[in-house]
Amino acid sequence: MKKVEMKQLIEKIEGEAELDFTFNDGEIDDVKINFGFYRGIEEILREKDARDALVITPRVCGICNHAHLIASVRAIEDGYKRAGVEVNLSSKAKDIREFTLACELIQNHIKWLYLTILPQLKRYVGERSEENYAIKASYLSTTITKALAIFAGQWPHSSYAVVGGVSCDPTHLDVIQAQSLVEESIRFFEQVVIGMDLEEYLAIKSITQLSEIEGDFGNLLYLLGSNDMATIGKSHDRFIVFAESPLSVSAKSIGTQLSKVDVRYVKESMQENTVAKAVEYKKRLYEVGSLSRGMVAKRPIIKSLHKRYKDSLMTRVFARVDEVGVLLKSCKNLLQNLALDEPSCTLPLNKMALHFEGVGIVEASRGSLIHKTKVKNGKIVNYEIITPTQWNLSHGTKEEQGVAIKAMVGAKSVEEATFVFRTFDVCSVCTTQ
Amino acid sequence: MSKPKLLWLQSITCNGNTHSFLNHPELFSILAHFELIHHPVLESDYSFQEVIEGSVPCDVLILEGSFVQEGFLKAGVEVSSVIEHYAKRAKDIITVGTCATFGGIFKQKEPDKISGFAFDIEEKTARYKEYASKLISLPGCPIHPRWLSFVLLMITNGKKVEIDELHRPVELYGYTVHMGCTRNEYFEWKVDVKNFGLKEGCLFYEQGCQAPYTRGSCNKILWNDTSSKTRVGTPCFGCTEPSFPKTSLFTTKTNMGIPAKMPLGVPRRAYLTLTGVTKSFKIKRFSERLLEYDK
């Protein structure tokens, strides 16, 4: 047996990471993932006003800032309720929050598709391409975040979700403009990404129909299939979703076996040699993100892919792009049914809890994001953030390797392993918040 | 003539400025004026490893993120040394975001060690002098994509960008965020907002809005070409200011019921006189909803 160690700097992943690979007889048998700088957002929050978290926590991450905002407002609202202050969101406020969150997920997934997966895959398989994929990412991201900004004022770094609702007071004019931007995004998705009608796409149930998909997604599936990507990248085959959303319920799926989850069993721990903390659920590691949501929601096409290819790279990548279609449909429905005659914020300005503990959970683009806040005399005494990337990229426990590491084990080259790594949509800044 | 070589480097950051700029509708026309040497996300001519080795060219240097002299390594190299290496060679340096400009949010982790590149809050850092002649500050958390494109296009057009004492372009930061706010009438007549989630009322009196004394053109050059914080009822948190982020961001600090901080350049006496006058009138239109769906 011959052990060889290799180091690789991974860039363009929302920061950088360094991977230390150990090869054993020509195959990777372990990987150490090292992230950069610990920025200490949790420490920065201490002694600030409880609501300041709505401004500070989005600054954890430039690409999923909105998810942090929603997680932090939910944490405060949970705390208020537990302290006896009634918080009942109007359906309008709930729907607007779901809408803006969905816009952010679409922005994120589409950037991952065009800035990471397609160019990296072409490079990996040695196919030269002069295509400007980035312009596609930028176009859809610009369009959909404009729809988001109609309600949230801006993206990135909005703080429009306030305790008891949302700060905006949209008119029909606003909704019509947002609808038009969603329609534009759907048109782009149909004509450029999938090369087919959205409704027909969403009706696809089985892998036998995948050849109907054209466009860049069709091309991607072809490249993945013809390069054996359906056999690599398998991990623990365990999936977890903590927040209810239009995408899925909250549950875990071991293989295809569904069962309930309770966020109280989530445990965070320090790891050696990296500033990223590891996280586990009842002593087991779970994958979070689009694939997990698709599995928990039992979306037929995801189940069909999983039945054949398990949690391979192919299934993981498919689930991520697939979610764009599901989210666009959800965006359209949310706007169509938005109850503008309801109040935006139901909590009066003078109603406030001063001592509380609360948990806020949200499905961010990379998976479940958890915020916990502890407040005394109106000031934060402790704040904890558990990001999706911590689930997927931890080193693991004594018993089992981390989710992404397990997926890389068995790879024959650094190039293969780093491509597997990128399919998790690594976010260095979230991991080292 | 060859195009100016553009290098985008990151220090302690959330990538918010990178992603904000990716939302520029004319992104690729703007970038077409440059040779993209390296960018945190976009495909570029050189790898990050090559950047670290110090061998790549650089005319225009964009810096994102707070600065720390020691202790932040990428691939075994101090980020500060990489930045200074290219800062010496660049013809123009643009600090994008409040972190790179003044220190920003991440400064609060270690206030004695972390700062902006050339400013530590408002104080000049030791390296200010060496780079002052080619420095442009674009504070904002994050920057507006059009603010950056303005500066980049001015540079490629060979035009001089007029700056203030903190090196901010006056065309962008000569305004306050308050200018252009759709709630201006409520400010003038001292009508505060009754709750969040209403388009009527001003957020300056109770909700902590800092727009009247924050420099920035958020309500002139709208965010995502469509809106702004104050337009959707969120107070301005002063994210372009050296002091960002302050504390108690959703509460206006007051002295005897009067906002503790006055609108930019307005003497307290002038403010009080006007308030006295406006408060003596009750204007019906300002106590009514603009339009109601919930009648």
pLDDT of residue A9: 86
**One domain, residues B110 and B214:** no
Instruction: Check which CATH number belongs to the domain holding B53 and give it.
Output: 3.40.50.700
- Pairwise pLDDT comparison (A431 vs A154), residue with the higher score: A154
The rounded mean pLDDT for chain B is 96
Distance CA B119, CA B127 (A): 9
- Pairwise pLDDT comparison (B19 vs B74), residue with the higher score: B19
pLDDT of residue A274: 64
Q: Taking CA atoms, what residue in B is nearest to A166?
A: B197
- Residue B159 domain-assigned (yes or no): yes
Per-residue model confidence as pLDDT tens digits over A90-114 = 999 999 999 999 999 999 999 999 9
Distance CA B224, CA B232 (A): 13
pLDDT tier for residue A272 given thresholds of 50, 70 and 90:
low
B253–chain A nearest CA distance, Å: 13
**One domain, residues B27 and B157:** yes
**One domain, residues B157 and B32:** yes
Annotate B140-202 with three-state secondary structure: CCCCCHHHHHHHHHHHHCCCCCCECCCCCEHHHHCCECCCCCCCHHHHHCCCECCCCCCCCCE
At which of B134, B151, B171 does a domain end?
A: B171
Per-residue model confidence as pLDDT tens digits over A124-143 = 999 888 889 999 999 999 99
- A399–B contact, CB cutoff 8 A: no
A115–chain B nearest CA distance, Å: 7
Per-residue model confidence as pLDDT tens digits over A389-405 = 999 998 888 889 999 99
- Indicate whether A175 pLDDT > 90: yes
Inter-chain Cβ pairs, chain A and chain B, closer than 8 A: 201
- Residue B41 domain-assigned (yes or no): yes
Percent of chain B with pLDDT over 90: 95
pLDDT tier for residue A268 given thresholds of 50, 70 and 90:
confident
Q: Give the residue-averaged pLDDT of A162-188.
A: 98
A28–chain B nearest CA distance, Å: 21
The answer to whether B230 and A159 are in contact (CB under 8 A) is no
The rounded mean pLDDT for chain A is 94
What type of residue is A419? F
pLDDT tier for residue B105 given thresholds of 50, 70 and 90:
very high
Hey, are the CB atoms on A153 and B13 less than 8 Å from each other? no
What is the radius of gyration, based on Cα positions, of chain A?
A: 21
Q: Which element (helix H / strand E) includes A88?
A: none
Q: Give the residue-averaged pLDDT of B36-55.
A: 93
- Indicate whether A323 pLDDT > 90: yes
Q: Give the residue-averaged pLDDT of A162-186.
A: 98
How many structural domains compose chain B? 2
- Residue B42 domain-assigned (yes or no): yes
Q: Quote helix, strand, coil % in chain B, to nearest 5.
A: 30, 15, 55
Distance CA A279, CA A205 (A): 33
- Indicate whether A276 pLDDT > 80: no
- Residue B293 domain-assigned (yes or no): no
Written as six digits, the tokens of A38 are 């610990």
pLDDT of residue B285: 95
**One domain, residues B181 and B156:** no
pLDDT of residue A8: 86
Q: Taking CA atoms, what residue in A is nearest to B140?
A: A157
pLDDT tier for residue A275 given thresholds of 50, 70 and 90:
low
Per-residue model confidence as pLDDT tens digits over B5-18 = 999 999 999 999 99
At which of B145, B171, B197 does a domain end?
A: B171
pLDDT of residue B110: 96
Q: Give the residue-averaged pLDDT of A297-317.
A: 98
Hey, are the CB atoms on A138 and B27 less than 8 Å from each other? yes
Is the backbone of residue A192 left (phi > 0), alpha (psi -120 to 50) or beta? alpha
Strands (E), A244-393: 251-254, 257-259, 266-269, 278-281, 356-364, 367-376, 379-386
Q: Give the residue-averaged pLDDT of A55-78.
A: 97
**One domain, residues B20 and B154:** yes
Give the residue among B216, B207, B123 at the shortest CA–CA distance from B169. B216
Distance CA B152, CA B145 (A): 11
- Residue B59 domain-assigned (yes or no): yes
pLDDT of residue A10: 86
Contact list in A for residue B42 (CB cut-off 8 A) is 115, 134
- Indicate whether A1 pLDDT > 70: no
- Residue B295 domain-assigned (yes or no): no
Percent of chain A with pLDDT over 90: 86
In this structure, of A393-407, B98-112, B147-161, B237-251, the range with the lowest mean pLDDT score is A393-407
Q: Give the residue-averaged pLDDT of A358-376.
A: 98
**One domain, residues B132 and B28:** yes
Mutation test of the interface with chain B: which of A7, A11, A131, choosing the one with the most B Cβ atoms within 10 A?
A11
**One domain, residues B89 and B182:** no
Q: Give the residue-averaged pLDDT of A226-236.
A: 95
- Indicate whether A333 pLDDT > 70: yes
Residues 404-433 of A with CB under 8 A from B: 429
- Residue B56 domain-assigned (yes or no): yes
In sequence order, which residues have a C-beta less than 8 Å from that of residue A296 and are 6 or more positions away?
Answer: A239, A240, A241, A248, A249, A250, A251, A252, A253, A258
Residues 136-195 of A with CB under 8 A from B: 137-138, 141-142, 145-146, 148-160, 162, 164-169, 171, 177
- Indicate whether B150 pLDDT > 90: yes
- Indicate whether B295 pLDDT > 70: no
Hey, are the CB atoms on B245 and A55 less than 8 Å from each other? yes
**One domain, residues B54 and B165:** yes
**One domain, residues B18 and B159:** yes
**One domain, residues B127 and B231:** no
- Residue B294 domain-assigned (yes or no): no
In sequence order, which residues have a C-beta less than 8 Å from that of residue A256 and are 6 or more positions away?
Answer: A295, A303, A306
Domain that holds residue B188: 175-288
- Indicate whether A408 pLDDT > 60: yes
Regarding pTM above 0.95, the answer is yes
**One domain, residues B87 and B226:** no
Hey, are the CB atoms on B13 and A62 less than 8 Å from each other? yes
pLDDT tier for residue A316 given thresholds of 50, 70 and 90:
very high
- Indicate whether A273 pLDDT > 70: no
Strands (E), A37-158: none
Q: Give the residue-averaged pLDDT of B108-122.
A: 97
Which of helix, strand or coil describes residue A345? strand
Q: Where are the alpha helices (DSSP H) in chain B?
A: 16-22, 27-31, 48-53, 79-89, 97-102, 104-107, 128-131, 145-156, 170-173, 184-188, 268-279, 284-287
Domain that holds residue A208: 3-431
Contact list in B for residue A350 (CB cut-off 8 A) is none
How many structural domains compose chain A? 1
**One domain, residues B102 and B117:** yes
Distance CA B194, CA B89 (A): 54
The answer to whether B203 and B233 are in contact (CB under 8 A) is yes
- Indicate whether B204 pLDDT > 90: yes
Distance CA B166, CA B175 (A): 15
- Indicate whether A2 pLDDT > 90: no
Distance CA A246, CA A248 (A): 6
pLDDT of residue A129: 82
